[in-house]
Amino acid sequence: MSGAWTAAGALARRDLRAALRRWGELALPLCFFVIVLTLFPLGLAPERDTLAAIGPGVLWVAALLASLLALETLFRGDMDDGSMEQLVLSPQPLALLALVKALIHWLLSGLPLVLLTPLVAQAFYLPTDALWVLALALLLATPTLSLIGAVAAALTASLRRGAGVLGILVLPLAVPLLVFGARATDLAIQGQSAAGPLYLLAALLALAITLAPLAIAAALRISVD
């Protein structure tokens, strides 16, 4: 089994290195996120009440769309240069390698989004207490989104123009995250306990971590065939 961990570590290092050498691509979804958020106060009346009312929903929708943007590249590079074939053929459990790829993807696209959100949330007059809940909810929801998204990205990896299909596959599955995430933020703004929706987000994450790697592995085998 030690070989599997060595391989998993090697894959994590390779993905991190390759991504950091193309840091411009990492910044792209984050820029998109910030720009979408600044469009709302410009497009609607920049009044405190309006913005505070739509803030949680807008933040969550923008976060979903931004992470969708990052998903397209998750397996594309590996498919194009042939390293996906080598991943599928390796003696290591493919589900473990798939989990590593999804988690590194989250580390590079989901986590920066979580860190950035408390800053941009200021534009929507969110109270400071609610910021913590919002950040925590995003911290629970974005890895789930990366895992669900990886399943869809694996399924569409062999399609030449998979980006559109990817959105159609992922967004409906992301609805529970949006519902619970926005609900948690709303409750926190009203000064109530947001524990309920946060627990549900945590449960979804546990479910995704257990099941998604198997689905990603199966989908990748189909895609390289």
Partner 1 sequence: MLELKDVAVARSERVLFDGLSLTLAAGDLATVVGPNGAGKTSLLRVVAGLSRAHAGRLHWRGRAIDEGDPVYGRERLYLGHQPGLKSDLSVSENLRFLLQLQGAGFDQGTVAACLAPLGLAGAEHRPVRALSAGQRRRVALARMRLSGCLLWLLDEPFTNLDVDGQALVAGWLDEHLAAGGMAMVASHAPLGTRHPGRRLQVELGA
By CB under 8 A, name the one of 26, 34, 53, 88 that touches partner 1. 88
> Closest separation between CB of residue 82 and partner 1, Å?
3
- Does residue 83 touch partner 1 according to CB under 8 A? yes
Q: Tokens in use for 71?
A: 């998903």
Question: By C-alpha distance, which of 98, 111, 218 is closest to 150?
Answer: 98
CA gap 184, 140 in Å, rounded: 12
Site for partner 1 in 109-148 (CB under 8 A): none
> Closest separation between CB of residue 103 and partner 1, Å?
17
CA gap 199, 207 in Å, rounded: 12
- Does residue 160 touch partner 1 according to CB under 8 A? no
- Of the ranges 3-11, 55-63, 195-203, 204-212, which one interacts with partner 1 (CB under 8 A)? 3-11
- Number of other CB atoms surrounding residue 108 within 10 Å: 19
CA gap 43, 65 in Å, rounded: 18
Site for partner 1 in 172-201 (CB under 8 A): none
Question: By C-alpha distance, which of 200, 222, 219, 199 is closest to 211?
Answer: 219
By CB under 8 A, name the one of 41, 57, 93, 176 that touches partner 1. 93
By CB under 8 A, name the one of 24, 42, 43, 82 that touches partner 1. 82
Cβ proximity to partner 1: between 1 and 45 the closer is 1
**Chain-centroid distance, C-alpha 182:** 16
- Does residue 24 touch partner 1 according to CB under 8 A? no
- Does residue 89 touch partner 1 according to CB under 8 A? yes
Determine the size of the site formed for partner 1 (CB under 8 A).
30
By CB under 8 A, name the one of 13, 127, 175, 195 that touches partner 1. 13
Whether the CB-CB separation of 171 and 145 falls below 8 Å is answered with no
Q: Which residues contact 52 (CB under 8 A, 6 or more apart)?
A: 124, 125, 126, 189
Q: Which residues bind partner 1 (CB under 8 A)?
A: 3, 6-7, 9-11, 13-14, 17-18, 21-22, 77, 80-83, 85-94, 221, 224-225
